[in-house]
Amino acid sequence: MILPWVVAVVAVALAVLTWVRMRRLAARLDQLLEMYWELKYQHGELRRDVEHLTGQPPAAPAPERPRPTDAFVPLASLKR
78 is a domain residue: no
pLDDT of residue 27: 97
Residues 23-68: tens digit of each pLDDT: 999 999 999 999 999 999 999 999 999 988 988 777 777 788 877 7
62 is a domain residue: no
46 is a domain residue: yes
Domains held by the chain: number: 1
Q: How confident is the model at residue 70 (pLDDT cuts 50, 70, 90)?
A: low
Cα–Cα nearest to 56, from 48, 45, 64, 46: 48
Q: How confident is the model at residue 4 (pLDDT cuts 50, 70, 90)?
A: very high
Q: How confident is the model at residue 69 (pLDDT cuts 50, 70, 90)?
A: confident
| Stated pTM of the model | 0.56
| Residue-by-residue DSSP string for 28-66 | HHHHHHHHHHHHHHHHHHHHHHHHHHHTPPPPPPPPPPP
45 is a domain residue: yes
Residues of the domain holding 46: 2-57
